[in-house]
Amino acid sequence: MKVSISVVVPAYNVQRFIEQCLRSILGQLGAAHELIVIDDGSSDNTLALVFKAQEAWPGANFHVFSQPNEGIPSARNHCLRVAQGDYIAFIDGDDVLLPGSLAAMDQAIAEHRPDVIACDFRMWHPDEPAKSRSVRLGYPVGRLLRDPEAILNTFFADRQMYIWSNVFRRDVYAQLPAPVFPPERLFEDVATVPRLLGHCASLLHLAHPVIDYRQHAAENAVSERWCLDFAAALPLARRHLQARGVADSVRRHFDIAAAYFFVGAVKNSYRLPRADGKRVRTLIKPLFVGGLFGNCDTLVATAGRADMVSNDRTLDAVIIRQVESALAGGVVVNFKRTASRKLKLWRRLRMAKKHGHFAPAPD
């Protein structure tokens, strides 16, 4: 039978979580699905637990591959090379696929066959359930969105740039040159998802959470590389979007999103030793300025336009003021303590959760 959805799990040192992750998928896996796990050279018991799950589900279309430890971007690229499904659903090895998710995707594909299914998800605090919350994307619900400009504008306004919340047709991945995910970089999905969406002519918003995104304890280690890769991720996408000739409105929405990412990088640079933080701030300024479609002087006017999609215009204005201060070499009051919830989550989660093998030792 032809495979409709490939569920792919890149995994690295997730022995505490991988069994729960795989059970959540295997319990939903149908005849038109396949499960692929790529072990990225785990040094713990992850791979053995994956094989154990494979043996426990002998009738499942379940494939296991392993590679030397090359990083999550490389594991994702490996997934793309071996996946056979018309659609590819990424799930990280410490997350959980919520019940009914594959059936909901199947229905969306049967009724609409969109280029991408955009999925809501939950910020999941298994140790503090009261803190768990659903994240709803800003796309319209219940109809196929066929406006590429609106797709990108809403995406940049939401700034939810996780690859696993977007189930793309495999043909869309084929539009990008290999390797699709930038090797040996943190925040590879931030650099990749906008480029993929730039090739999408249709989107269906699946308006119920499909992923429990596990929240780990706060990780205090921030490195120079963390800050630089964070600041450089969107500029990588910008070059591709410019080559695609995206509309002026997309360029404006991109620039506001880039301002948020720049503030996040600057804010976290203050967690480094003083001299290192100062050097990082010097390095990321040209990355930000050179990565804009417009220029810094027009950000205020851009954010204030009535046709801009925004989830919080007040916060947009605050972020732009912080950008202005950072570019001028100043420190905004509360810079170390205030940022949007999304930016705090980037700092807390990405290093500990998805890319621990890239993380330096804490200072």
- Residue finishing a domain among 192, 214, 236: 214
363 occurs within a structural domain: no
User: pLDDT value at position 37?
Assistant: 98
Q: Which residue has the higher pLDDT, 74 or 129?
A: 74
Cβ contacts of 336 within 8 Å, gap of 6 or more? 267, 270, 271
CATH number at residue 56: 3.90.550.10
User: pLDDT value at position 217?
Assistant: 65
- Residue finishing a domain among 214, 249, 271: 214
* Listed range (43-47, 124-128, 299-303) with the worst mean pLDDT: 124-128
- Residue finishing a domain among 186, 214, 242: 214
User: pLDDT value at position 1?
Assistant: 79
**Same domain, yes or no: 199 and 255:** no
Provide, rounded to the nearest whole percent, the portion of the chain with pLDDT above 70.
Answer: 89
Report d(CA 167, CA 105) in Å as an integer: 9
**Same domain, yes or no: 159 and 232:** no
361 band by pLDDT with thresholds 50, 70 and 90? very low
363 band by pLDDT with thresholds 50, 70 and 90? very low
Please give the residue range of the domain that contains residue 332: 224-358
175 occurs within a structural domain: yes
pTM of the model as a whole: 0.88
User: pLDDT value at position 143?
Assistant: 87
User: pLDDT value at position 156?
Assistant: 97
128 band by pLDDT with thresholds 50, 70 and 90? confident
Mean pLDDT on 82-97: 97
57 occurs within a structural domain: yes
Domain tally for the chain? Answer: 2
User: pLDDT value at position 76?
Assistant: 95
Report d(CA 22, CA 20) in Å as an integer: 6
360 band by pLDDT with thresholds 50, 70 and 90? very low
Residue 251 has pLDDT above 80, yes or no: yes
**Same domain, yes or no: 191 and 240:** no
**Same domain, yes or no: 232 and 192:** no
219 occurs within a structural domain: no
**Same domain, yes or no: 55 and 203:** yes
User: pLDDT value at position 32?
Assistant: 96
300 occurs within a structural domain: yes
Per-residue pLDDT tens for 259-302?
Answer: 999 998 999 899 899 999 999 999 999 999 999 999 998 999 99
**Same domain, yes or no: 261 and 164:** no
218 band by pLDDT with thresholds 50, 70 and 90? low
75 occurs within a structural domain: yes
Report d(CA 21, CA 164) in Å as an integer: 13
Mean pLDDT on 345-353: 45
Per-residue pLDDT tens for 318-342?
Answer: 999 999 999 987 664 344 444 444 4
**Same domain, yes or no: 180 and 112:** yes
**Same domain, yes or no: 178 and 39:** yes
SS3 state of residue 352:
helix
183 band by pLDDT with thresholds 50, 70 and 90? confident
> Exposure pattern of 23-52 as b/e (b: 16+ CB <10 Å)?
ebbbebbeebbbbbbbbbbbeeebbebbee
**Same domain, yes or no: 205 and 228:** no
**Same domain, yes or no: 247 and 191:** no
359 band by pLDDT with thresholds 50, 70 and 90? very low
Q: What is the mean pLDDT of the chain?
A: 89
277 occurs within a structural domain: yes
Number of neighbours of residue 19 by Cβ within 10 angstroms: 17
132 occurs within a structural domain: yes
User: pLDDT value at position 221?
Assistant: 64
User: pLDDT value at position 216?
Assistant: 76
**Same domain, yes or no: 136 and 257:** no
Q: Which residue has the higher pLDDT, 352 or 284?
A: 284
**Same domain, yes or no: 198 and 288:** no
